[in-house]
C-alpha cells in the first residue's frame, strides 16, 4: 500500500459516522516489576504519558481498558528463562519493567513483547525503550502496539520470522495509526470481542 492510498483510506474512514454502543471491557492487570532498575522519570513518563495516551486511543472505538495494579517481579530460572510473579488468568498481564529479558530480545532493545507464556497472556513493556505516539506507521504508542497483538489474536500463533514477521508488525502499526489519527477501530473491536471471550473462558476454567 502506498502512502497516498493509506491517507485516502484513513480519511474516508474518518468520515464514517460512529454508532453509539456499550463499551467492550478488556481487563488489564498491570504488574510493576520490583526488580526493574528504571529511573524515576521513566516510570513517571509511563503513568503520565504512555498509558494515559493508550487508554483514550482504545476508548475512541468503544474499548474500555479496565486496569488493576500490583507489584510483582521477573525472576530468572537456572536456564535464564523468565519467571513472572504476580500474573493472573482472565486478563492481559501488562508487566512493566526496564528491559525485555535477554533470552527473548537477544539484546535488540525491544520496547515491548506480547505472548502466551506459561499459560498466561503477557504483555511486557520495557521502560528503557517504550514511548508514546511519535510517527504514523513507524513509531506508535508501545502499549497500544503490544495490546493489539493480543486483541487481534497474534499471541495464539507462533511469531513469524523474516518478511512475514515484518508484515505482521506493519499490520499492527497500521491498525494503531488508524486508531490514533482517525479513531477507526471497528476491526479492532471485532477482534477484541472474541478475545475477551477467550479471557472469560480461561478464567472460568481455572476458577
Contact 64, 25 (CB under 8 A): yes
> What kind and span of H or E run contains 96?
strand 92-97
Give residue 202's pLDDT. Answer: 87
pTM of the model: 0.89
In a domain, 106, yes or no: yes
159 has pLDDT over 90: no
Would you say how long the chain is, in residues?
A: 207
In a domain, 16, yes or no: no
7 has pLDDT over 60: no
Burial class (CB in 10 A: 0-12, 13-18, 19+), 72: buried
In a domain, 5, yes or no: no
Contact 183, 60 (CB under 8 A): yes
Per-residue pLDDT tens over the stretch 64-102: 999 999 999 999 998 889 999 999 999 999 999 999 999
Q: How many domains does the chain have?
A: 1
Give residue 20's pLDDT. Answer: 58
Cell numbers 498491570 correspond to what residue?
30
45 has pLDDT over 70: yes
In a domain, 10, yes or no: no
Three cell numbers, residue 164: 512475514
Q: Which residue segment(s) compose the domain that 101 sits in?
A: 21-205
DSSP letter at 158 equals P
Q: What is the CATH number of the domain that holds 165?
A: 3.40.390
Amino acid at each position: 500500500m502506498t502512502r497516498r492510498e493509506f491517507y485516502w483510506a484513513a480519511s474516508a474512514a474518518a468520515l464514517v459516522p460512529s454508532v453509539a454502543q456499550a463499551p467492550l471491557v478488556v481487563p488489564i492487570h498491570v504488574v510493576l516489576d520490583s526488580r526493574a532498575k528504571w529511573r524515576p522519570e521513566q516510570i513517571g513518563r509511563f503513568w503520565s504519558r504512555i498509558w494515559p495516551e493508550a487508554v483514550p486511543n482504545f476508548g475512541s472505538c468503544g474499548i474500555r481498558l479496565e486496569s488493576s495494579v500490583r507489584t510483582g517481579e521477573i525472576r530468572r530460572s537456572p536456564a535464564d528463562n523468565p519467571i513472572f510473579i504476580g500474573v493472573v488468568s482472565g486478563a492481559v498481564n501488562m508487566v512493566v519493567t526496564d528491559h525485555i529479558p535477554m533470552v527473548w530480545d537477544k539484546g535488540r532493545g525491544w520496547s515491548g513483547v506480547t505472548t502466551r507464556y506459561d499459560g498466561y497472556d503477557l504483555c511486557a513493556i520495557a521502560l528503557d525503550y517504550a514511548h508514546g505516539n511519535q510517527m504514523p506507521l513507524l513509531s506508535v504508542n508501545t502499549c497500544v502496539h503490544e495490546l493489539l497483538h493480543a486483541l487481534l489474536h497474534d499471541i495464539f500463533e507462533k511469531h513469524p520470522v523474516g518478511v512475514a514477521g515484518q508484515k505482521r508488525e506493519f499490520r499492527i502499526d497500521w491498525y494503531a495509526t488508524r486508531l490514533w489519527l482517525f479513531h477507526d477501530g471497528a476491526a479492532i473491536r471485532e477482534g477484541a470481542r472474541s478475545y475477551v471471550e477467550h479471557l472469560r473462558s480461561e478464567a472460568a476454567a481455572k476458577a
